Every structure is written in structure tokens, then in C-alpha cells.
Amino acid sequence: MGKRIKRYFILLSNCLILSLSGNFAYSQSVISGTVKDTLQNPIPYVNVLLKAENQDGIIAFSTTTENGTYKILTDKEGNFELTFSSISFKKNIQSIFLEKDKEYKIDANLKEETFALDEVIVNTDKAITVKKDSIIFKADAFKSGNEETVEDLLKNIPGINVESDGKIKIGGKEVEKVMVEGDDLFAKGYKMLTKNLDASVINKVEVYNRYSNNRLLKGIEESERVALNLTLKNNVKNKIFGVLKPGYGLASENRYDASANIISFREKNKFYGFTNFNNVGIETTAALSEMTDSGSETNFESMESEQGAISFIKLINYKPDVGDERTNFNNAEMASLNNIYSFSPRLKLKTIGFLDWDENKFFRNSLDTYFLPTGTFTTIEDYDLYGRTFSGFANAELTFDISKDQIFEYSGKFNGSSMETNTSLLFNNDFSKEFLEESPFSTNQTFKYTNRLRPNRALSINGYYIHSKNPQKYKSSRFLFVDLFESNGGNNGVHQLSMHKMNVAGVDASLFNKRKNGDLLQAKVGTNFFNNNYTSNFTIEGLDERPAGFQNSSIFNQFNVYFEPSYKLKLGAFAFTGNINFTQNITTLDSKNVILKKSPFFINPKITLDWELNKKNRITSFFKHENKMPSTESVQDGFVLTQYNTFSKGLQQIDPLDNSTFFVNYMLGTILSTFYANTSFIYIKNDEYLGLKSEFTRDYILNELTRLKDKEFANIQTELNIFIKSLASNAKVKIGYNEQRFENIVNGSLRQVDASTLNYGGELRSAFGSPINFHIGTEWFQSNYKTNITEQENLRNRTFLDIVYEPIKNLNLSLNSSRYFFSGLNIDNDAYYFMDFEGSYPLIKNTVSLAVMGKNLLNTRTLRNLMVDDTGVFQSEYRLLPRFFILKAKVRF
Amino acid sequence: MKYFFLFFLSISFCYSQTGKITYSSNLNFNGYEPIEKTSFLYFNNGKSYYQNEIDKINRTGKDENINKDDENKKTTNIKIRLGSDSIGNVYFSNLQSNKLVCREALYDDRNLNYYIYEDIVKIEWELHAEFKEISTYKCQKATAKFRGRNYVAWFTTEIPLSFGPYKFRGLPGLILEIYDQTGEVYFSAERIEIPYTQANQKVQNPKVGTVISYQEFVEKGTSNINKITQAILARSPEGTKLVSTDIKKNGIELEYPWEKE
């Protein structure tokens, strides 16, 4: 009995185990069968789908083999249907009730049926939409959840690259601007936006390729530019956000670099405010130039260059090439506000306001030795400068979209400064003081009307008015010009009041026509008027009469009417652009003693030719011939003081000057080839030119212009690159030579000057896949000035080593060091070493990050350099910002 | 008479099995300009032939320009434009086996060379009870991991074809849309023409090209790219901020079968 129960139990439990385990592991039912057509031939490649009855989802599927057989495994039970479908047969559906662990054999006979889809167009709702010149990304499709700023979102979008400094690149090109809802607040300063705007507010990211700043020139002008536009979600247009970036000196004297910004986007009104305080040598006006830099304008939109009034006196005329920040002892504060207001979808006003205060100090000691036909002498100078600047800038831009094909734009810029500079000067061991007061002001009013006449043709009309003036009041406490003026010796100082005032007005019209074959025909016709008012009054203290020949009061006017057709075509491997400028010019110079008038006619041609011989060889070249009138300052007859010991004047003649330029560039290989070389050659010939006639004395210099003939300049530069695979590095060799031949008159003797510079150097840069990389290089410059009596030579060298180390992700360390060497200096101090360090690490991703910056780690306090020209050797010593460390934080709110 | 009937039948059979699907592909690899291409999938009798539209420029070339971004910093932009020959990239598959015969180009030493390799593709599709409509076609979602990318495919059983773009196939319906999670790879069907009798001439094994193994092909390509990338990086001028270099693999395939071991 017990045995039987036991056996029964074992059997039962076995059954249980079997059935249970079957449930878990072996409970798959197998459905198999053969599919045949009406003629009983097996059909291959029939899709056999298993679906739950009256439901959509396919649970399992199979395809018939060559023999028409199929097999489906499933662990499901219940009511199902089996669908047999193939492209050339009628769909067959069979019901099936599935139980566990069973085998089903289901055959099917399919009837033929023609399946035809005649040109069905499928529309997909894409995360990415590619249009002809734009790509639209739906932001939500690219959000992974942990992004905070727009920059993070952009990093997720394929094809968009955000570099470590925030620069956005698409296809290797930096974007022109990042707009918000089509409005551009920042121009090149877009990082302010992408690093601060919250990613969650973005609806779409639009990439515009072949972007034109003027939408009507799109497709007509040639453009390689890229721009981004962000569209915002509707519910988030009222937020205010910003960033604080305090930075303060560590273990060094009072150093700071702090900035903050605040941003808001409303549908009608968008604004951006920014402020910076620093005394680490950073020019705060750089932020302004970034925000007003609308990118590289093409020749289609070019206007007369924004020239400003002349500064007669320039107190700092040279800074050594070691980075401006090293010699700029400053204390700067700036604030700016950008605003865009939309009156209607078609009418927009953009304004920029900018205020800047700056205090600057600059120190220089010089020892100048002159080698002149009349003998040799030396001057010494010890110069301390202290300046204060207050400047303001305002810009209003109005854009009115008249219609689909017409735009009217107006821009008004106002720029004014007030500067006061004091210097104390030891010149040839005598002490003096200078004082300069300047208040430059300029305004620039432009309007532009663009009309797209046809899809391939556009008309653009520009008008502009520029007013610029620069009054200068200068005083020097020492009289250095005893030889020049009949003086009683009791003179204490000199004064100069000067002002250049200019008014420029012009209007031009351009027609662009892109032909079907891609050739571009452009014609421009226009007129402009330049009015220059040039006055200077030089007085000597204690002398009632102003010295004759040192005063200016003249009006210099130029009027041009011009026509400029140009044609661009491509013929196989050749690309050719021809451009001719025809100008009728009327120039008058009206000074106290003379009135001059000329009305020349100019024909200025320019031809560009690019030739791509084959994949490895490419030549680009141009030739141009240019006639133009001399500039305002070069036609003035009276001397003006330009430095405490220097007078300059022009030549009172208004005959045009001409020059010819030839340029050719040859590229062997490409930047991708193992060997890559680029060589360029330029030659400039001036048949007639304004040369210098100078008189040097130990106390003063007199410069005037004189007309001379035949000046030549030639320059050849070549750069060879070879990629060394075994070192994963590129080696570069640079060699160049330029030579200039001209004449000048020095202390009464006319002479030929031969000036040449030979430069040569090499670099090695690594591209290791490791966290550490380096870049090392050196370059020598050998200058030579030769006249019939003298020869001055000079050799200088710059060597650098940059190392980057990223030991862990996001911790970025970089060390930049360089050495400057000047021959001819005292052997003990002819080399100068610099080292800068920077390290940064994000503490809380996208919210708080810390950086340490060390400048001038070797604490080099002075830099001496040496330069030569045909008149002498000039040695200068500059004082440098001492070593400092700054701890910087960045907090987003 | 009977023979004639059979003959007739087999012709009609062939006819009805042909078709042409036009796909638009969108490759947006990070750091590169997006490439949008049109491709065609031809099929007949369980065989398919996927071919990229021939580059109309029909030239191999590269553009480069050195932009002066601002005063001190220069950026160098390199665009390699791989042209194609008159055949272009081809992926030939037969539903009978997992073997695909592929024809793809490499840019070795400034020359465009075509290679033919055999690839074994077995994609383990996972079906999901998620649906969406693409132009009135009801599509079901399927996912799969393929060569280092996670794909989402939308296929429709209303067009009972197991084909898809590139190397994708094996679903019980035509793939109308397929993309990977990063958004870098994207294909969508644009036009469907069934029947398409010219497909009979199109669908055949690609022949023009050097035959090598798939692994050899990939290794050759990687070494070419590394060489180019390093050369570019090592040639950037001073002042360009040196950031440690990370040569990323780009392409539709990021991992290869032999790398898993």
C-alpha cells in the first residue's frame, strides 16, 4: 500500500515536474507547414505571421524556404490567426487555437494576385527634415534627458560640433550666428546664448547652409556660410536667466576678472545684458566687436570701408608682439545691452548700447641709434603713459520686410569717446610732460533696399552717410625745436589743436544675375562724395605768432561716379572672374594758399584665375591694376606734430597714383595628403609713389612726402608639411623671403633702400589618441636694410611649446610656454621666457565650474626688443604685467 | 499546350515579383556635414539589390578652405567628397541565406577604389506592440542592435516584403522607416513602384571591384581614416587650442562581428 502510494506519488510528482517545467521551458508550441500555390508548387519567401485574434501586433513570424516550408515557435496560448502573405499572392488568414506544448501543422494554398503599387509616395514625419539648404531637427527627438543648456542639446544633434570653448561648427565651418526665432542678438558673440539658454525651451533647431545675411540674395550670391536658428516652445518665452563669472586673484596683488550676463526672450522683445570688470589686461571692447561683427561680408554687400577721422597724435604707436595682454596695465569696466523689438512680424528694431571705462598704463624705455648720411647719433627715452578712456556706442537697426521680394533696412551707429592721456617723459635726459585730450565722434547712417526681381536676379540699392571727427588738444611741456624756429630760448612748451572732420555720402545700386549655367553677372553703379576738413594749429608758448608752415586749414573733396561690371564663370578646371571699375573722379583741394582741381578718369581692372590642374595641383592667381587719389593727410602742406619730437606733412599735389599687383598661389597635394605644400608669391609695383623725405636731428624729426618713381615689393612664402605616421605627428617647414626696393631722402641725400626679410622655421605637432598632446615650433626672422652707406641687420627668434593634458574627462590642463630672442641685445638679456597655465573642471555639470589661470608664471617683468630700419637701430624695453593667478568660478542662474 | 501554359505562368510569376523602392537616407555623423542621399532597392524573386544614387557630380574630390575666423585663430575645414563611379555602392542580398555581397569604396591614397566583400547579416529583430501610420500604411515597431547601433524600424505587413535599405532586412513586411537612437543614421521610404520590370536586369551580383574579406575591407578603411584625421589635427596652426584628440569611428557600422570576441 505504502509502496503503491509512494510509486503513485513519484509518478505524480514526475508528471507535475514535467508539466511545470514544460510550462517554463518546453511549453513552446510549434506551428509548421507548407505553402503552395494553386498548382501545388511550393512558394518560397512567403511571410507567415502569427497574430492574436482581432489584434494588430505580430507576435512571431517566419518566412517560407525554397521548398515552401515554414516553422514558427511560440509560447503563447489562446485564439490566434496565422497570416500568409506574399507580394504576388492573395493574403490567406487561418484561425488557430494554440495550446501549450503542441505541434500544429497548417498548410496553405495561396491564390495568385497581382500586387501593384504604382508610384506610391510615402511621407514620413521625420525627426530630421532636410530641405534644399536647411536641415530642421525636432529638439525633443534629440534630448536624452540630462542636457541643460542649448549647447548640450546641440552636442546631441548629429552633424553639429561644439568645441570646448563653445564655438559651434557644422561641417568644420563655424556658424555665423545663432538666432532665436529668426532674431539675431549676438552675431559672433552667440556663445552667450548657447551656454546660457535652457535646453528645455527649444522646439526646433534649424541649420541653414549657404546662408545669406540678406534673404533675398539667397541662391544668387555664392555663400559657404552656415547659421543656426532656434525656435522656442510657446510656454517658455517669459523666462529670465543668466550667468555670474567672478574671478579673483590668488596669492597675488589685487587682480580680478569678473563678468555677468542676463538674458530674456519674449515674443516681441528680446534682450541681453552683459558686464565685465577686469585688470588683467583684457580689452573689454572686444565683446563689442564680437557683437557688432556681422561676419564676413561678401563683395555683394560691401560698402565704402568705414574709415574714421585721422588721429594726428598717436602716443602709443608700437606694442611688442608678445600678446597685448602682457603689456596692458588696465582697469576696465564695461556694460552693454542688446535689444530686439518686433513691432510686427515685418518690422523689427535692434538696438545695442555699450559703455566702457578704461584706465591704461604703459611703460617703455628706448635707445635709438641713427646711422645717417650726416653722421651717427643716439637718443634715449623713458616713457610712462597713463590714460583714461570713456567710450559709448549706440546702434539702431531697423528691418522692414516690405513684401516677399523686398526688404528695407536702416542702420544708425553712433560712437563717441573721451580720452585723456598724461605722460611723463625723459628724452635725452631732460624731463617733460605731455597731455593729450581727444574726443572722437562718429556716426554712420546706412540704408539698404533689396528687391528680388526674379528667382535668379536681385537688385540692391545702398545709401550711406558717415560723419567722423577727431578733435585733439595736445600739450608738451618741452620745446625741442630750437633749430626750427627763431626763438628766444625761453620757450617752455608747445601746443597743438587739431581736428580732422570728414563727411562721406554715397549711393549705389547693384544688380546680380545668376545665369542658368552657374555664371554670375554683377553690375554696380554708384556715386559718392568725400568731404574732408583738415585743420591744425601749432603754437609755441611765449610766441604770439603761429609758426608758418606748421599750420593747416584745408578742404579736400572727392566726388566719384563709377560703374563696375563683373563676370564669374567656370570652364572645366578653370574658374575665372573679370572685374573692371570705371570711375570718373573730381577732386579739389582748397587750402589757404592754393586751390587745386583734377578730374581724372580711372579704369581699374582685376582678373582672377583659378586652375585646378588635377587632384594634386591647384593654382590660384589674380592680377589687378589700380589708380587712386592720394589720401587726405598726404596732400597737406603744413607740418603737424605726430609725436612729441616728430612733425609730418604731405605733398600738396592731387595727381593720381597707380600700382599693379600680381599674386599666385600653388598648392601641391591637399591638407589630407601625407605630403602637402603651399607656396605663394606676390609682386607689387608702384610706378609712382609718395616716398619719405626726412630730416633727423638728435632733438626732432621732420617727415614730409615726396613723389618718387618705381617702388617694388616681392614676397615668396612656402610651407611644407609631412605627416609622420610612426610619430602620429605633422612636421612643418616654413621658409619665406621678401624684398622691397624703394627710395627715400634722408637728411638731404636721395638714396636707394633695399629691405629684405628672410624667415625660416619648423614645427612639430602631435595628434596622439592619448590624453596628452604637444605642439613645438620655432621661427627665425632675419631682417636686412641696405643703403649705399649703411647696412643694418637683425635676427630674432620665437620658440614655443604647448602641452595639453586631460588626465580625466572634463579636467583640462594646458601649459603654454614661449621664448623670444633678439640678436644685438646685451647677451645677458637677449632672451625672454613666458609660461601660462590654465586648468578647468566642472563641479556641477552646467551650473558651477571652476578654473585656475596662471599668467606669466616665470614672472618676467620686462621685455627688450630690437628693430632696425634703413635709418637706424631701435632698442626698446617694455614693462610687463607680473605673475598672477586667478581663481574663476562660473555660476548659472 | 501544357508546357506553354507553364511557361506563361512562370513569366507572370517573375513579373509580379519585381519592384523598386526609393529610400532617402540621411547620415548625420557628428562633425560632418549631413549627407542626404537617394537610394534604390530593386528586387525580384527573393533577391534584392540596393544601390545609392550615382553622384551626379561624378568626380572624386575634396574641398578645403582655410577660414580666418578672427585675427589670431584660424580654422581649417576639410570636406572629403567621395564621388562614385557609374555603379556606386551596392548591397546584394538573397533571402535564401544570410549572405550579402557588398560593393563599397575606399579612399586610399587619394584614389577611389571599389571593393567587393561578403557580409553575413543576421539581425535579431524584436517586435513591439507599437504602431504608427506612415502615409496610410500601418507600421509596427521592431528594434534590433546591429553593429554598435540600436535601431528602431517601422515595417508594414501591408507590403509583404522582407527587404529594407542598406543591409537591413528580415522583417515580415517592408521597412518604411529605420533609424538609430543617436539620430545619426536615418532611412525612410519615399516611393514604391511595384511591379518594376527593369529590376530583372538590375538584380545581380556586383562584379566590378577587388574582392577582399569584410574584415580586410574594414581594417583598410579605418587605417585610411586614421591617417587622414591625424594629418589634419597635426597640421592645425599654433594658437588653435590644443585639445586631446579623439578619433571617433563614424559610419553606419561602429562594431564588427570579429570585435566582440
What confidence score (pLDDT) does residue A462 get? Answer: 92
Q: Where are the beta strands (DSSP E) in A315-440?
A: 329-344, 347-372, 375-403, 406-427, 430-438
Query: Would you call A672 and B232 a contact, using CB atoms and an 8 Å cutoff?
Result: yes
Q: Where are the beta strands (DSSP E) in A645-790?
A: 646-649, 657-668, 675-696, 701-724, 729-746, 749-766, 772-786
DSSP secondary structure code for residue A22 in this structure: I
Q: Is residue B57 part of a domain?
A: yes
What is the domain range of residue B25? Answer: 14-123+174-259
ipTM above 0.90, yes or no: no
Statement to judge: residues A190 and A255 lie in one domain: yes
Strand A601-612 and strand A831-844: the pairing is unpaired
A154 by Cβ neighbours in 10 Å (0-12 / 13-18 / 19+) ranks as buried
Statement to judge: residues A150 and A241 lie in one domain: yes
**Interface check B232 vs A, CB under 8 A:** yes
**Interface check B152 vs A, CB under 8 A:** no
Q: Which residues pair with residue A685 across a beta bridge?
A: A660, A712
Angstrom CA distances, A789 to A489, A751, A757, A758, A782, stand at: 35, 9, 19, 22, 20
Query: What residues of chain A, 320 to 339, have a C-beta less than 8 Å from chain B?
Result: none
**Interface check B82 vs A, CB under 8 A:** no
Grid coordinates representing B45 are 524573386
Residue A385 dihedral angles phi and psi, to the nearest 5°: -120, 140
Query: Would you call A120 and B140 a contact, using CB atoms and an 8 Å cutoff?
Result: no
Query: Would you call A772 and B244 a contact, using CB atoms and an 8 Å cutoff?
Result: yes
Statement to judge: residues A104 and A152 lie in one domain: no
Contacts of A88 in chain B (CB under 8 A): 13, 16-17
End position of a domain, from candidates A260, A289, A315: A260
CA–CA separation, B231 vs A723, rounded Å? 6
What confidence score (pLDDT) does residue B34 get? Answer: 63
Q: Taking the mean position of all CA atoms in its chain, how far away is CA A389?
A: 26
CA–CA separation, A857 vs A837, rounded Å? 8
What confidence score (pLDDT) does residue B145 get? Answer: 92
Who's near A556: CB < 8 A, 6+ residues apart? Answer: A530, A531, A532, A534, A587, A588, A589, A590, A632, A635
Grid coordinates representing A847 are 551650473
Residue of A nearest to B128 (CA): A57
Q: Is residue A462 part of a domain?
A: no
Residue to substitute from A87, A174, A176, interface B, most B β-carbons within 10 A: A87
**Interface check A171 vs B, CB under 8 A:** yes
Q: Which residue has the cell 592645425?
A: B236
Q: Taking the mean position of all CA atoms in its chain, how far away is CA B87?
A: 14
**Interface check A157 vs B, CB under 8 A:** yes
Q: Which residue has the cell 569678473?
A: A258
Contacts of B234 in chain A (CB under 8 A): 723, 728-730, 765-767
Domain count, chain B: 1
End position of a domain, from candidates A232, A260, A288: A260
**Interface check B249 vs A, CB under 8 A:** no
Q: Is residue B114 part of a domain?
A: yes
Grid coordinates representing A458 are 536681385
Query: Would you call B157 and A141 a contact, using CB atoms and an 8 Å cutoff?
Result: no
CA distance B257 to chain A (A): 24
CA–CA separation, A691 vs A651, rounded Å? 10
Q: Which residues pair with residue B75 across a beta bridge?
A: B67
Helix, strand, or coil here: A614? Answer: coil
Q: Is residue A145 part of a domain?
A: yes
Task: Write the residue in B79, B157, B229 that is nearest to A172 by C-beta.
Answer: B79
Query: Would you call B241 and A769 a contact, using CB atoms and an 8 Å cutoff?
Result: no
In degrees, rounded to 5, the angle at the alpha carbon of residue A107 between the alpha carbons of residues A103 and A108 is: 145
**Interface check A164 vs B, CB under 8 A:** yes
Query: Would you call A672 and B78 a contact, using CB atoms and an 8 Å cutoff?
Result: yes
Query: Would you call B242 and A804 a contact, using CB atoms and an 8 Å cutoff?
Result: yes
Query: Would you call B131 and A766 a contact, using CB atoms and an 8 Å cutoff?
Result: no
In 3D space, the residue among A197, A370, A350 whose CA is nearest the CA of residue A870 turns out to be: A370
Q: Tell me the pLDDT tens digit for each residue of B131-172.
A: 888 888 889 999 999 988 999 999 998 888 889 999 998 898
Task: Write the residue in B61, B76, B161 that is nearest to A671 by C-beta.
Answer: B76
Q: Are A94 and A108 in contact (CB under 8 A)?
A: yes
Statement to judge: residues A256 and A139 lie in one domain: yes
Statement to judge: residues A100 and A132 lie in one domain: no
**Helix boundaries (H) for A344-411:** none
Helix, strand, or coil here: A727? Answer: helix
Query: Would you call A672 and B179 a contact, using CB atoms and an 8 Å cutoff?
Result: no
Q: Is residue B132 part of a domain?
A: no
Q: What is the CATH number of the domain that holds A97?
A: 2.60.40.10
Q: Is residue B31 part of a domain?
A: yes
In degrees, rounded to 5, the angle at the alpha carbon of residue A694 between the alpha carbons of residues A692 and A698 is: 150
**Interface check A614 vs B, CB under 8 A:** no
Q: Is residue B106 part of a domain?
A: yes
Query: What residues of chain A, 75 to 114, have a C-beta less than 8 Å from chain B?
Result: 83, 85-88, 91, 112, 114
Query: Would you call A122 and B135 a contact, using CB atoms and an 8 Å cutoff?
Result: yes
Query: Would you call A158 and B29 a contact, using CB atoms and an 8 Å cutoff?
Result: yes
CA distance A660 to chain B (A): 25
Query: Which residues of chain B carry a pLDDT beneath 70?
Result: 1-16, 30-34, 55-84, 109-110, 229, 231-233, 236-250, 260-261
Who's near A317: CB < 8 A, 6+ residues apart? Answer: A643
Query: What residues of chain A, 655 to 684, have a C-beta less than 8 Å from chain B?
Result: 670-674, 676
In 3D space, the residue among A403, A400, A525, A405 whose CA is nearest the CA of residue A458 turns out to be: A405
**Interface check A41 vs B, CB under 8 A:** no
Statement to judge: residues A256 and A133 lie in one domain: yes
Range A277-292 burial, b when 16+ CB lie within 10 A, else e: bbbbbbbbbebbebbb
CA–CA separation, A793 vs A780, rounded Å? 13
Helix, strand, or coil here: A154? Answer: helix
**Interface check B86 vs A, CB under 8 A:** no
Grid coordinates representing A246 are 567672478
SS (H, E, C) A735-773: EEEEEEEEEEEECCEEEEEEEEEEEEEEEEEECCCCCEE
Residue to substitute from A37, A122, A156, interface B, most B β-carbons within 10 A: A122
What confidence score (pLDDT) does residue B67 get? Answer: 36
Element housing A8 (H / E): helix A2-21
In 3D space, the residue among A187, A420, A440 whose CA is nearest the CA of residue A309 turns out to be: A440
Q: Tell me the pLDDT tens digit for each residue of A588-597.
A: 999 888 899 9
**Interface check A141 vs B, CB under 8 A:** yes
Statement to judge: residues A10 and A100 lie in one domain: yes
Contacts of B77 in chain A (CB under 8 A): 171-173
What CA dihedral angle connects A324, A325, A331 and A337, to 10 degrees?
80
Contacts of B9 in chain A (CB under 8 A): 39
Statement to judge: residues A66 and A167 lie in one domain: no
A/B interface, count of CB pairs below 8 Å: 252
Q: Which residues pair with residue A660 across a beta bridge?
A: A625, A685
Query: Would you call B161 and A768 a contact, using CB atoms and an 8 Å cutoff?
Result: no
Q: What is the CATH number of the domain that holds A189?
A: 2.170.130.10
CA distance B96 to chain A (A): 7
What confidence score (pLDDT) does residue B58 get? Answer: 36
Q: Which residues pair with residue A332 across a beta bridge?
A: A278, A358
Statement to judge: residues A83 and A174 lie in one domain: no
Domain count, chain A: 2
End position of a domain, from candidates A208, A231, A260: A260
Tell me how crowded residue A347 is: count the other CB atoms within 10 A of its CB.
Answer: 14
Contacts of B247 in chain A (CB under 8 A): 769
**Interface check B46 vs A, CB under 8 A:** yes
Contacts of A120 in chain B (CB under 8 A): 135, 191-193
Q: Which residues pair with residue A668 across a beta bridge?
A: A617, A677
Q: Is residue B137 part of a domain?
A: no
The answer to whether the pTM exceeds 0.80 is: no
Q: Is residue B103 part of a domain?
A: yes
Statement to judge: residues A166 and A78 lie in one domain: no
Query: What residues of chain B, 196 to 215, have a C-beta less than 8 Å from chain A?
Result: none
Q: Is residue A239 part of a domain?
A: yes
Query: Would you call B16 and A87 a contact, using CB atoms and an 8 Å cutoff?
Result: yes
What CA dihedral angle connects B222, B225, B227 and B232, to 10 degrees?
-160
CA distance A110 to chain B (A): 13
Strand A227-232 and strand A862-869: the pairing is unpaired
Statement to judge: residues A97 and A34 lie in one domain: yes
What is the domain range of residue A29? Answer: 2-110
- The CA R_g of chain A, rounded to the nearest whole Å, is 38
Task: Write the residue in A119, A141, A774 that is nearest to B183 by C-beta.
Answer: A141
CA distance A775 to chain B (A): 8
Query: Would you call A159 and B161 a contact, using CB atoms and an 8 Å cutoff?
Result: no
Q: How many CA atoms lie within 13 A of A327 on its CB side?
A: 20
What confidence score (pLDDT) does residue A609 get? Answer: 93
CA–CA separation, B33 vs B81, rounded Å? 10
Statement to judge: residues A190 and A81 lie in one domain: no
Contacts of A804 in chain B (CB under 8 A): 242-244
Query: Which residues of chain A carry a pLDDT beneath 70?
Result: 1-27, 123-127, 144-146, 171-172, 235-237, 252, 286-287, 289-307, 487-491, 671-672, 846
CA distance B258 to chain A (A): 23
